[in-house]
Amino acid sequence: MSEPFPLWVSWARELQALAQAGLEYSRDPYDLERFQRIREIAAEMVSQGTDLPLEKVTGLFCGESGYQTPKLDTRAALFQDGKILLVQERDGLWALPGGWVDVDQSVRSNTVKEVLEEAGLEAEPLRLIAVQDRNLRNTPPYIYGVCKIFVLCRALGGQFRPNLETLGSGYFPLDALPPLAEEKTTAQQVVLSLDPGGPPRGALLWD
């Protein structure tokens, strides 16, 4: 699939990453000042090109320190009678349960946490299904990189309970999916996960 951004956005992303690395590893005060200005220029480019307020771009695009790497997002695939579990987001659309990997979590523990928080189920992660570049699969693209990690799980018990993130949950067949929150889950990603009767796929998932 082709690059989801115009070329100038790719340049701005690269400038931001170089500036962030420079701010982390440089010790010379003059170099730090230059890297900070490069970072500001990258944010100004994105703000000018997208009509987003500079403050918002800076918060989303320039809010980290250390060597810049993609963020991680885990999505759990749980099955019941050949149907896949989806949760209803606050906007009424549906997605595989999941979310950002917290800094104190592994892929495995974050998957368990998100299923419990969003679907009310205790889950046992079994195997890795796939790792995808979010900006090549989901819309709209984000200015930063995201790796989406899909994990096959088994439900151990529990039931949905009201929470701040989701309105409900349910199991759906492939030919009757509800409207999806494509920012988080596409129909193709559901198809990727929906193979409960086939042979085990992917690596065993360990911490």
pLDDT tens digits along 69-80: 899 999 999 999
At residue 1, the pLDDT reads: 46
Looking at the DSSP assignment, which residues form a beta bridge with residue 83?
A: 80
96-109 residue pLDDT tens: 999 999 989 999 99
Distance, in Å, from the CA atom of 200 to the CA atom of 196, rounded to the nearest integer, reads 9
162: pLDDT strictly greater than 90: no
Q: 131 with 186, same domain?
A: yes
Structural domain of residue 128, as residue ranges? 71-193
User: What's the mean pLDDT in 152-165?
Assistant: 94
At residue 193, the pLDDT reads: 84
Could you tell me if residue 106 is inside a domain? yes
Could you tell me if residue 205 is inside a domain? no
Q: 50 with 127, same domain?
A: no
Query: Residue 145 belongs to a domain with what CATH number?
Result: 3.90.79.10
Count of domains observed in the chain: 2
202: pLDDT strictly greater than 90: no
168-199 residue pLDDT tens: 999 999 999 999 999 999 999 999 887 555 55
At residue 143, the pLDDT reads: 82
Q: Read off the amino acid at residue 138.
A: N
Q: 100 with 171, same domain?
A: yes
Could you tell me if residue 198 is inside a domain? no
Token pair for residue 53? 């307020």
Mean pLDDT rounded to a whole number for the chain = 91
Q: Which residue has the tokens 């307020």?
A: 53
Could you tell me if residue 15 is inside a domain? yes
204: pLDDT strictly greater than 80: no
138-148 residue pLDDT tens: 998 888 889 99
